[in-house]
Amino acid sequence: MRSMINLAIAASLAAGVVAQPHNHRHRHVKKDTALDQRDVVVVYESGPTVVAYELGGKPISEEEAKQGIADGLFVVVGETVPSSTPLPSASTSTAPTPSVSKDAQFFEAKVNKPSTSSTPTPTPTPT
């Protein structure tokens, strides 16, 4: 009787130890709300663009390069016509306001499956 009580106590203690949460450094990353609520506007400005023309590792003048491209002697690497890509337009909008509801939304739709009916195949009768 005494051993059964000791066994029951030991089992309940073991179950309690197993049920304890062991975090093992699995912490949630804390969000920095100050970064989310800052009033900073990002503005893109086009900076100076330097175009360098080289032939065989030696620099050549812009006139020589344009004449060589026009004559078909030179090829622009990566492009057919030298051009630059425009930067994105500057945005002066403020940070978006968070939505009020952060609940999950679930949508259900009824799917009408066409009903198919088939006639059962007759069982053969032994003759």
- What pLDDT shows up at residue 47? 80
Burial class (CB in 10 A: 0-12, 13-18, 19+), 65: buried
The answer to whether the CB of 91 falls within 8 A of the CB of 41 is yes
Top-confidence residue, 11 or 107: 11
- Write down the domain spans for the chain: 43-92
Encode pLDDT of 22-69 as tens digits: 666 666 666 666 666 667 777 788 888 777 888 888 988 889 988 988
In this structure, which amino acid lies at residue 106?
F
Residue 59's DSSP bridge partners are: 54
Per-residue confidence at 71, pLDDT binned at 50, 70, 90?
very high
